[in-house]
Each structure stands twice: as C-alpha cells, then as structure tokens.
Amino acid sequence: MTDTLKLTGRDLFWPPADELTEAAERIRARLGDWPPTHAPWRICLTAPDAPNGGDLIVVADEQHQHEQHGEQIARWLVQGAGVIEAGKNGATLQLGGERYRLEGQLAEDWIAALAAFLDCGFDPHDALVLALAWRDGDEKRADDAWPSDIAHFPRVVGLPAAPSQPFAPCPHELGLYPVLPTAEWVERVAGFGVKTIQLRRKSAEPAAELKSEIARSVAAGRKHDARVFINDHWQAALEAGAYGVHLGQEDVHTADLHAIAAAGLRLGLSTHGYYEMLTALHFRPSYIALGAVFATTTKVMPTAPQGLSRLARYVRLLDGVVPILAIGGISADVLPDVLSTGVKSAAVVRAVTEAADPAAAVASLQRDFDR
C-alpha cells in the first residue's frame, strides 16, 4: 500500500481544499483496498450555488447558526443535498428524508476521514459513523488503520430506552443457523442435530395457523435441545415460550422490548451497516446479525450486499462485544470464505431448503464449522 492514494482527480471538496485533499489521501491509503466508488459525493464547507444529490453541506450546529441556516437547510434538502450539522459533541446528518444523530468526539481531521470513508464506498450515514470513530494520527499506526475500537465509536441519539433488564444471553458461537419457512422444516432440521434455527413466516396467514406453526417449532426445539428463534412475530413467540425472537431495525420502535426481555427471551437484531450496528447495540441484544453479506433472493434488502471485506471489519469491531451472525446469500460454496473472516455463526436458507438431500447438506455445512 502506498503512502498516498490519489483522489485529486475527483471533486472531493467545495470550495477546493488542497490541504484537506492531501489529508484524505493519507487516510485513504491506510484503509485497505476497496472497489472504486461511483457515488459522486462532494463535501461542501460552504454552500454551492446549486446544491445537488451528491453534496454533503457541513454547517455548525450551534443554536444561532442553526437558526440562521434553518431556511437554507430546508431548501438544500429539497434540492437533494445532504446536510451535516457538526458541533462539539457530535454531528447530525440529514439526507433523503432521514435524520441520523450521533454523539461523539470530532477529531481535527474528521472531514478528511469522512471523504476517505465515502471513497471506500460507504453510504454517508455509515461514513459519518466511521469519521467520528477516527482519531487524529490513526493513519500513522498501521497499514490498515480501520477503526476497530468500539470505545471510540459514537452513540446514536434519540432512540427509545433500552429495557432495564438485559436480554438473556445466547452462546457466543451459534454455529450453523438455518432460517426455515415452516414448522415442518424446523422439526426436520432439528432432527438432523442442528442447534440453532429460525422460523421465518412472511406470508399473511390466519392468526391460529401462525400460532400453531410457532408452537410446533418451539416444541421441536425443546424435543431436540435446539435454540429456536421466531422472526418478527414476537407476541406469538412470547405466548409459546420461544427461546428467542429475531427482529428488524424498524421493529425496535414498535415491539415491546421490555416484555420480551422480562420474559427471558433472547433477542437478535438485523443490521446493514455501522449506523444500524450502533442502534442495535443500544438495546443490548443477545446477538447482532450482519448482512446481507451477498445478494439474496429470499427477501428485499434495503442496502447493497456488504461483501466479505466489510464483514471482516465488522467482526473485528464486534468480536468479544456481542455474538454476531453473518446472514444473506450464504451458500455452501461461499461458507468457508465467510467463516474465514472470523465470524463463528452464519445463517443459511436455500443451502438447506433447496438441497436435493437436506440431511447430507446440513452434515456438510456443519463440517465447515468444525474445521
């Protein structure tokens, strides 16, 4: 890796800032090899005459500054730009109708770091998380200076309170984690000796049928000493006494997390990047799912595939902090590559449900974990 990585061919800053560009190049050169980004992000330290969807306009968030720029900010957002309000205690990004509030330390070169992480292909809200985790001089400490100390990462502001009682723990290594469509499949795969399973029922169905499916799945878990998680349907999971539930990011605002924790159920939360990881950590879940690692056809994903390079860095950050699960598009062919990142748990769907011989497929997948 060279000492600098040339970014001067791109319009990184407005107005042009040679010193910032040089700092961004130094930082970017220590972040590893990433596919070139095609997103036209430009960090604006003063507002351009005609903002566009590639502009991130940085303003001070002091009260008088906010009042002064209030109407301008609204206009910039309507024009498609993003706005970063930065202050002593963190930064807030407004972009695409969303507001991302982060509390943490701003290093002197955080703007240069933001440009470097944007160049690595991260969406602005995740790049901003990494910029706040950056510390001046980090690029001098290692060939790969990627932020990996969770203590340096910012905190997401404005989330609902986490339950006072922590969620029950689950093993650090959940191993093979099939995500299955029916109770019949859960019974079958639990009979193969798999110890962690998720029932994911996405189709609309009568409440009585749903409860029956969940009850059968929970019973199969008890019979075979398997950990059965129920996707989404937390009320029915509570009634059935499930081992745990798995929820998406949107569910933390609607599910009764306090009731789930009080009942002793484990909680798994989906994440699709750094900002959502920090959101999940706020609630102290039993495990965090990282994905989608690869493209998947089993559900519509809100983000592009993460890939193995990102997964490896997520594992480095969260290892020892919370159990983690790789999920999304993981087949038998790529499972060894996924496990090579250091992750100890991986979810599969079609690798089991579409296998010609599911029992043999499970046995083969299990061997990858045992190596």
| Residue 296, burial from CB neighbour count under 10 angstroms (0-12, 13-18, 19+) | middle
Nearest to 269 by CA among 353, 198, 350: 198
Q: Which two structure tokens, joined as six digits, stand for 125?
A: 């809200």
Measured CA to CA, the distance from residue 106 to residue 230 in angstroms comes to: 40
Band of residue 142 on the pLDDT scale cut at 50, 70, 90: confident
Condensed to tens digits (0 to 9), the pLDDT of residues 210-238 reads 999 999 999 999 999 999 999 999 999 99
The residue behind tokens 């890796």 is 1
140-159 burial, b at 16+ Cβ within 10 Å, e below that, comes to eeeeebbbbebeebbebeee
Q: The domain 175-370: what is its CATH number?
A: 3.20.20.70
Lowest mean per-residue pLDDT among 85-99, 109-123, 137-151: 137-151
Region 18-25 average pLDDT:
94
Average pLDDT for 113-121: 95
Span 331-338, mean pLDDT? Answer: 98
**Separation of alpha carbons 27 and 35, rounded Å:** 16
> CA-to-CA distance for 97 and 77, rounded, in angstroms?
8
Q: What's the token pair of residue 62? A: 């002091």
Average pLDDT over residues 177-197: 98
Characterize 328-342 residue by residue with b for buried, 16 or more Cβ atoms within 10 angstroms of its Cβ, and e for exposed.
Answer: bbbeeeebeebbebe
Q: Find all residues with CB under 8 Å of 24, minimum gap 6, and list them.
A: 7, 12, 112, 113, 115, 116, 119
pLDDT confidence of residue 302: 63
How far, in Å, CA of 85 to CA of 99, rounded? 11
262 φ, ψ (degrees, to nearest 5): -65, -30
User: According to the model, what pLDDT value does residue 9 have?
Assistant: 63
**Nearest residue to 39 (alpha-carbon basis) of 82, 72, 3, 1:** 82
Cβ contact 229:266 at 8 Å = yes
Could you identify the residue written with the tokens 């990462």? 153
Q: What is the value of pTM for the model shown?
A: 0.94
In angstroms, what is the C-alpha Rg of the chain?
A: 22
Is the pLDDT reported for residue 65 higher than 60? no
Residue 21 has pLDDT above 70, yes or no: yes
* pLDDT score of 6: 56
The answer to whether 131 touches 159, Cβ cutoff 8 Å, is no
More confident residue, 159 or 6: 159
In whole angstroms, give the CA distance from residue 101 to residue 76.
18
High-pLDDT (> 90) share of the chain, %: 82
pLDDT bracket for residue 8 (50, 70, 90): low
How far apart (Å, rounded) are the C-alpha atoms in residues 159 and 177?
29
Tell me: pLDDT of 322 over 90. yes
The domains of the chain are located at 13-156, 175-370
pLDDT at residue 2 above 50?
A: no
